[in-house]
Amino acid sequence: MTDRRSVAVVLFDGFELLDVFGPVELLAAAPELFELRFLGPTRDLVRSSQGIAVTVTDAYSDAAPADIVLVPGGIGTRRLAEDPGFLDWLRTFGLSASLVTSVCTGSGLLAAAGLLDGRRATSNKLAFDWSASRSDRVDWQRQARWVEDGDRWTSSGVAAGMDMTAALIRHLHGDEVADRITTHVELEVQRDPARDPFALVHRSATAAPTAD
């Protein structure tokens, strides 16, 4: 059981459902390898961008250090990127982890917390400019399904989080485990992080206020 890692999923009001539950579906398929924790501002329910609310296991302030941190996107990131208290906590919590990951505009929060300084990173393509504007100390990659830079993994928008998570499982536990999990959930994963059909679609798009 020494291979088992704790994964802290950082929830907040206005998190994007699939940013969270795509990766969680994959990680939870191997409970012998990953122990999932769901963190919120308090122990109260946290409301998704789509309205449905979910339970948390720990308040931010009570959460034990985790091996892996996962920060999703969602409209709630806009508010948190201006919240010094949250960013201070996220920075400290992230620095204590072995791996810090994000989906979608979650990388905007990592950037604002200083957790991507000097790293390559990507984000949601529709809201790319918003994420990129959170920090000029990040080497932002406009065309990437996901970006791995050492102990920082960031994915593109929403569904890209599943490809990144499958790649992360493959990186940590090898082909057999990754293939077993993706077959179990009947997910055809994209394995090339550089392949990003959505980068071109959104190339001329400016950050839309309602993008996630």
For the record, the structure tokens of 36 come out as 């999932």
Among 25, 58, 67, 151, binds a copy of itself (CB under 8 A): 25
**Span 56-115, contacts to a copy of itself by CB under 8 A:** none
In 77-208 the beta strands, taken as DSSP E runs, fall at: 99-102, 120-121, 139-140, 146-149, 152-155
Listed in sequence order, the DSSP H helices in 6-99 are 17-28, 77-80, 84-95
**Span 117-176, contacts to a copy of itself by CB under 8 A:** 124-126, 156-160, 162
How many residues line the site for a copy of itself (CB under 8 A)? 40
Write the burial class of residue 116 (CB in 10 Å: 0-12 exposed, 13-18 middle, 19+ buried).
buried
Among 2, 51, 150, 176, binds a copy of itself (CB under 8 A): 51
x-or-dash string of contact with a copy of itself, 187-206, rule CB under 8 A = xx-x------xx--xx----
CA atoms within 13 A on the CB side of 2: 0
Provide the binding-site residues for a copy of itself, judged by CB under 8 A: 16-18, 20-22, 24-25, 28, 36, 38, 45, 49-55, 124-126, 156-160, 162, 183-188, 190, 197-198, 201-202, 211
